[in-house]
Amino acid sequence: MKMIRSAFVTLAVLCLAATGALAQVHSGHNAQDNPKSKCQEHFQMMDTDKDGFVSLEEYKGMGHGKDAEKTFKKMDANGDGKISPEEMCGK
Model confidence pLDDT, tens digit, residues 28-86 = 555 457 888 999 999 999 999 999 999 999 999 988 888 999 999 999 999 999 999 99
In terms of domains, do 91 and 79 share one? Answer: yes
In terms of domains, do 46 and 84 share one? Answer: yes
Q: What is the pLDDT of residue 18?
A: 45
In terms of domains, do 38 and 62 share one? Answer: yes
Q: What is the tally of structural domains in the chain? A: 2
| Beta strand pairing call for 54-55 and 82-83 | antiparallel
The Cα-based distances of 21 to 9, 15, 24, 38, 39 in angstroms read 19, 10, 5, 18, 22
Confidence grade of residue 22 (pLDDT, cut at 50, 70, 90): very low
Encode 18-42: b = buried (16+ Cβ within 10 Å), e = exposed: eeeeeeeeeeeeeeeeeeeeeeeee
Please give the Cα distance from 65 to 24 (Å, whole number): 33
In terms of domains, do 53 and 86 share one? Answer: yes
In terms of domains, do 18 and 57 share one? Answer: no
In terms of domains, do 44 and 1 share one? Answer: no
In terms of domains, do 1 and 41 share one? Answer: no
Query: Domain of 19?
Result: 1-31
In terms of domains, do 26 and 39 share one? Answer: no
Residue 20, pLDDT above cutoff 50: no
pTM (2 d.p.): 0.61
